[in-house]
Amino acid sequence: MRPRILVFDSGMGGLTVATAIRATLPEAELVYAADSAAFPYGAWAEGPLVERIAMVVARLIDEIAPDAVVIACNTASTLALAELRRRHTVPFIGTVPAIKPAAAQTRSRIIGVLATRGTVAREYTQALIHTYAYHCRVILHGAPRLAEMAEAQLAGAPSDLAAIAGEIAPVFREIDGARTDVVVLGCTHYPLLLGELEAASPWKVSFIDPAPAIARRVGAVIAGLGDGEGAGRSRPLDGLVCFTDRREPGAAYAAMGFDRARILAMPVQS
Ligand code: DGL
Q: How would you write the chain as a 3-class SS string?
A: CCCEEEEEECCCCCHHHHHHHHHHCCCCEEEEEECHHHCCHHHCCHHHHHHHHHHHHHHHHHHHCCCEEEECCHHHHHHHHHHHHHHCCCCEECCCCCHHHHHHHCCCCEEEEEECHHHHHCHHHHHHHHHHCCCCEEEEEECCCHHHHHHHHHCCCCCCHHHHHHHHHHHCCEECCEECCEEEECCCCHHHHHHHHHHHCCCCCEEECCHHHHHHHHHHHHHHHCCCCCCCCCCCCCCEEEECCCCCCHHHHHHCCCCEEEECCCCCCC
**HSE (CB half, 13 Å, CA atoms) of 244?**
25
Of ligand 1's listed atoms, the one at least distance from the Cα of 39 is 8
Å from CA of 52 to ligand 1 middle? 14
pLDDT above 80 for 270: no
Mutate to test the pocket of ligand 1, among 16, 116, 120, 148 (most ligand atoms within 8 A of CB): 116
Of ligand 1's listed atoms, the one at least distance from the Cα of 76 is 10
Å from CA of 95 to ligand 1 middle? 10
Of ligand 1's listed atoms, the one at least distance from the Cα of 42 is 9
Question: What is the pLDDT averaged over residues 160-172?
Answer: 98
pTM value is: 0.96
The number of beta carbons lying within 10 Å of the beta carbon of residue 219 is 16
pLDDT above 90 for 128: yes
Q: What pLDDT score was predicted for residue 233?
A: 65
Of ligand 1's listed atoms, the one at least distance from the Cα of 73 is 4
Percent of the chain clearing pLDDT 70 (strictly above): 97
Using CB distances shorter than 6 Å, the residues near ligand 1 are 9-11, 13, 39-42, 73-75, 116, 119, 147, 187-189
Å from CA of 231 to ligand 1 middle? 33
Q: How confident is the model at residue 228 (pLDDT cuts 50, 70, 90)?
A: low
C-alpha distances in angstroms, 244 versus 81, 117, 215, 216, 236?
20, 23, 25, 28, 21
Å from CA of 75 to ligand 1 middle? 5
Smallest CA-to-CA distance from 75 within 104, 97, 101 is with 97
| Residue of the CA atom closest to atom 2 of ligand 1 | 73
Residues carrying an active site annotation: 73, 187
Q: Which residues contact 255 (CB under 8 A, 6 or more apart)?
A: none
Give CA 34 to chain center in angstroms: 11
Give the tens place of pLDDT for each residue, 89-116: 999 999 999 999 999 999 999 999 999 9
Pairing of strands 182-185, 206-208: parallel
Percent of the chain clearing pLDDT 90 (strictly above): 91
Q: How confident is the model at residue 235 (pLDDT cuts 50, 70, 90)?
A: confident
Å from CA of 141 to ligand 1 middle? 14
Mutate to test the pocket of ligand 1, among 7, 8, 9 (most ligand atoms within 8 A of CB): 9
Mutate to test the pocket of ligand 1, among 41, 141, 149 (most ligand atoms within 8 A of CB): 41
